[in-house]
Amino acid sequence: MPANPQTPATGRTKTDWMGEAMQKRIARRYAAERRFKWMGLGAVALSSLFLAFLLVVMVGNGAKGFISTEATLTVDLPAATGSISPEQLTQPRLAATMASIDVRRIFDNAVQAQYGEDGARFFASTAWTALRDQLTENPNLVMSKTKVWLPTSSDIDRAAKDNSTPEAEADYATLRKAGEVRQTFNWRFLTGSDGTDPAQVGIWGALKGSLITMVVTLFLAFPVGVLAAVYLEEYASKNWLTDLIEVSINNLAAVPSIIFGLLGLAVFLQFFSMPRSAAIVGGLTLALMTMPVIVIAARNAIKAVPPSIREAAMGVGASPVQVVFHHVLPLAIPGIMTGTIIGMARALGETAPLLMIGMRAFTTTPPDGLTDPATVLPVQIFLWSDEVNRGFVEKTSAAIIVLLVFLLTMNAIAVYLRNRFETRW
């Protein structure tokens, strides 16, 4: 259009940009622009606030799970045990001596002597085992009448932390006035296993189950995933078999995790009659789930290695297998490791497929092998969240903190590996 202010042929007049109407319109458009920007910021803020809220709730509830309440008990061990010597409580005579003295009765008697007939309500039902453990750790205790700290019952524990039954609150107030109660770090939570008394449970059993399962998963999914990725990326010719493999892997990556649980139940447990609740079945199931993740990550990592590397290796006479295993794979390893760690982190947090194959065993001792009944950390969280006893709330949250710490560490390692070793060509 020619720059002519008067275009009477079309009847148009020049827009008055400085006029009131136009200024208003521009103001309106700019306001819309600002609103839109604020909405975007709001969406980001809302999402991160939710994450912060979730973490705060979990840490707020869970921090108390790492604290246990203990009360004193005065035990006259020389009298109760018939003055055995500390040497009798050292190896190799320890087992024989422990069999000869009834720690449980000693504990019961001491509780009755100090806290009266129904004094047992102050202590956890398994508190006598804590006394036994202290005795084996420190044999010199038998030399004199001593004061030991033992875990209190769940009711008193909750009275110390928030609120409990009126009786427990009264008991706690009495103990506190006498200075016979204290709060310490709950080592038992990190070293113990599942139980019925929330004050006494620990996560080591579930954690060990998780670790065994993860080892099985890693040993199966990593080699298979990397080899499959190498095949698909470097050697596979374009034919129906390759297409079928690609479709299967992409499909497996998108299948809901619970379907893998059904597969494990029908194939591993029913068809191959493998043991129920065993870490090996859990590991197998999770390996099938993790393998596609590793394949996809490894393929991307292999694809990122520039063709010039392959051509150079070929040029100096390497065979196709040597090209890949001596040159391409070593360069792709950081990317593969990153993908593997992310896949393993996902497997570590997975619950549903493991519920299907019965990895919800109630075991008070950690699993010792691949076929022992075991549970894993996320399933333990699920089981505790179902408990009626209010004392399990803090334990569930504490277990969640432990799980999140593991996952965040794994992800941090993955990010570190990516930043440290990834080469950009």
Partner 1 sequence: MTSTAILFLIAGLGLITWVFARARAGRFIQQGAASVHSLPSYHGWYAAMWAVVPAILFMLVWSTVAPALGSYAVLESPLAAQLPTDAFERAAILSEARSLSRNPDVKVFNDAARELAPLYADADRNYAMIGALAAFLLCFAGAAYAFTRIRPDFRARTQVERTVMLALLLASLIAILATLGIVASLIFETVRFFNLVSPFEFLFGLQWNPSDKVVDGQATGFGAVPLFWGTVFIGAIIAMLVAIPLGLMSAIYLTQYASANVRKWMKPILEILAGVPTVVYGYFAALTVAPALRSFAVAIGITDASSESALAAGLVMGVMIIPFVSSMADDSIAAVPGSMRDGSLAMGATKSETIKQVLIPAALPGVVGGVLLAVSRAIGETMIVVMAAGLAANLTANPFASVTTVTTQIVQLLTGDTDFNSPMTLAAFALGLTLFIVTLLLNIVALQIVKKYREAYD
Q: What residues from 270 to 309 belong to the interface with partner 1 (CB under 8 A)?
A: 270-271, 288, 291-292, 295
CB of 306 to partner 1, least distance (A): 22
- Which residue in the block uniquely carries the two structure tokens 């306001």? 31
Of the candidates 295, 277, 299, the one whose C-alpha atom is nearest the C-alpha of residue 379 is 277
Report how far residue 204's alpha carbon sits from residue 192's, in angstroms, rounded to the nearest whole number: 5
Does residue 413 touch partner 1 according to CB under 8 A? no
72, exposed or middle or buried, with CB in 10 Å at 0-12, 13-18, 19+?
middle
Of the candidates 406, 399, 403, 409, the one whose C-alpha atom is nearest the C-alpha of residue 64 is 399
* Window 1-40: residues binding partner 1 (CB under 8 A): 29-30, 32-33, 35-37, 39-40
27, exposed or middle or buried, with CB in 10 Å at 0-12, 13-18, 19+?
exposed
Exposure on the CB side of residue 411, measured as CA atoms within 13 A? 11
CB of 77 to partner 1, least distance (A): 35
Minimum CB distance to partner 1 smaller for 135 or for 337: 337
CB of 127 to partner 1, least distance (A): 28
Tokens representing residue 17 in the block: 């940009």
CB of 425 to partner 1, least distance (A): 21
Minimum CB distance to partner 1 smaller for 67 or for 370: 370
CB of 66 to partner 1, least distance (A): 17
* Window 209-228: residues binding partner 1 (CB under 8 A): 223-225, 227-228
The single-letter DSSP state of residue 278 is B
Minimum CB distance to partner 1 smaller for 120 or for 232: 232
* Window 360-389: residues binding partner 1 (CB under 8 A): 378-379, 381-382, 385
46, 96, 316, 388: residue in contact with partner 1 (rule CB under 8 A): 46
- Which residue in the block uniquely carries the two structure tokens 């038998």? 142
- Which DSSP helix (H) or strand (E) runs through 73? strand 67-76
47, 90, 112, 191: residue in contact with partner 1 (rule CB under 8 A): 47
* Window 111-140: residues binding partner 1 (CB under 8 A): none
DSSP, collapsed to helix, strand or coil, labels residue 186 as: coil
CB of 297 to partner 1, least distance (A): 15
